[in-house]
Amino acid sequence: MLIFIVKTNLMIFLVLVSLTVYLCCFFFVQVVRARLEERGICVKDVRLNGSAASHVLHQENGLGYKDLDLIFGVSLKDDQAFRLVKDVVLDCLLDFLPAGVSKERITALTLKEAYVQKLVKVCNDTDRWSLISLSNNMGKNVELKFVDSLRRQFEFSVDSFQICLDSLLLFDRCSETPMSESFHPTVIGESVYGDFQEAMDHLCQRTIATRSPEEIRGGGLLKYCHLLVRGFTASSEADMKQMQRYMCSRFFIDFPDIGEQQRKLEAYLQNHFAGMEHKRYECLMTLHHVVNESTVCLMSHERRQTLSLISMLGLKVLAEQNAIPTVTNVTCYYQPAPYVQDINFSNYYIAHVQAPQITHCSNSYQTWLPCS
């Protein structure tokens, strides 16, 4: 990974401070870090990642940010290290409970249920990291990621930014003079895309660019469509076509089965559209268009099946927001897919569906036929 730029910009500093104060987690980070070190786990650095980092660098970027994504650079050489990290975080969490909550009565288990949204551990040849995602009462999550190694650190250039918080943390710990506009530490931002300036230009001009999309799990396909909906575009038609082909290819390799595709899509819709639910339909139709355009190598049955799924979900989100358009323009998207069984859109629409019987196909056919 290469470091490209040093930012001493005051705006960055101010935004960082307000972000962290707003989420009340700056102090929490300090405590987690100190306790990890007490227990022999050295923290190389702490970084702000992803959309929150993009937000700090360029606020009008159109991406918004939902979660505060923090990366702790640590060494996780064995299972015990993983466990230690988790225990330390849960322990710190216990100390941060609001006054009045009886700590004796809270077990690690109830604590986990109340505050921990997600616990993830990944440990293989290339990737060693764990994630503890905490939710606060404002619906924002704080994702604490403890990363030993992670081969692919970004999806698109616009979310490849990381901002190193160490100088702020150190300042906070050691300086007797409080931070001010004229007295504050240098904050370093970098892009794991490889070229900071280029990534920054992409962010300002809303350009979609990536490297080797076939390396991203799911190909980055859903995020790509989401970026399109938010007004981002590829730099050229050729670029777009190529990206789409790779992304679709990887998506169908990772999610070959229609049930998995449905779960993946529903989870994405659920997790990425808070406060902008009305955009879900547009995103699905964009996805429909991309899949239709870029999966020429897919077997036609599978392609139809996936396109139907996307249409059904589109109709479902419209129904949820009570925005079913006139029947005429629904019909062109509407292809009943009876194998999509647990979709529940209002009974009103179900009533119109003449579902043909489709027998379940075996899973043994080849899903992706490579183009050559």
Ligand X SMILES: *[C@@H]1O[C@H](CO)[C@@H](O)[C@H](O)[C@H]1NC(C)=O
Which residues of this protein are in contact with ligand X, per CB under 6 A?
Answer: 49-50, 69, 71, 122, 124-127, 145, 147, 150, 153-155, 159, 217, 289, 292, 325-326, 329, 344
Q: Which one, 145 or 184, has the nearer CB to ligand X? A: 145
Q: Which one, 159 or 302, has the nearer CB to ligand X? A: 159
> In the bound complex, what is the minimum distance in angstroms from residue 101's beta carbon to ligand X?
30
Angle among Cα 11, 16, 17 to the nearest 5 degrees reads 100
Q: Which one, 261 or 295, has the nearer CB to ligand X? A: 295
Q: Which one, 97 or 292, has the nearer CB to ligand X? A: 292
Closest-CB residue for ligand X? 50
Half-sphere exposure of 291 (CA within 13 A, CB side): 27
> In the bound complex, what is the minimum distance in angstroms from residue 179's beta carbon to ligand X?
26
> In the bound complex, what is the minimum distance in angstroms from residue 145's beta carbon to ligand X?
5
Q: Which one, 114 or 123, has the nearer CB to ligand X? A: 123
Integer Cα distance of 62 and 228 in angstroms: 11
> In the bound complex, what is the minimum distance in angstroms from residue 21's beta carbon to ligand X?
22
> In the bound complex, what is the minimum distance in angstroms from residue 283's beta carbon to ligand X?
13
> In the bound complex, what is the minimum distance in angstroms from residue 174's beta carbon to ligand X?
27
Q: Which one, 102 or 126, has the nearer CB to ligand X? A: 126
